[in-house]
Amino acid sequence: MVEPSTEQLAACCASRRWIAAVAGRPYADLAALRAASRRALDGLDWADVEEALAAHPRIGDRAAGGSREARWSRGEQAGAAGAGADVQDALVAGNRAYEERFGHVFLIRASGRSALEMLAALRERLGNDPAAERDAVRRELAEIVDLRLARLTEEDE
């Protein structure tokens, strides 16, 4: 049985609506928790997604603090942390251009991706129209939440 607390869920996704939809019940296993999470994510309004985005640091920025979410974020962005100055500078410029174009932080599942892969995705997604980019953000958010739910259940075993 898996029954994450509200605090644990908040480390996975900062949308209060998502937390309310997923919290307060036991799940048979991680697969059941992930299924409930996916249903809740699919039901989020864009404002709820933006609330979740506000908790994510820019790619290349180091999340501060000792919270579970900050620790996870630093680990997830390990591929960006070791990049050379030229790639770091390109990420900063790309983040700025992205935020000017779309009005929110560039979100990507950083786990398992190098800084160059993230930079290439950022540059590619700058060409998206707003609707296509919202779809991309929702996919990336779902992947991040999925990974974090798995970490949560692993840590609590």
Active site residues: 56
CA 126/CA 40 separation, integer angstroms: 27
CA 56/CA 73 separation, integer angstroms: 8
**Strand, coil or helix: what is 135?**
helix
CA 72/CA 97 separation, integer angstroms: 26
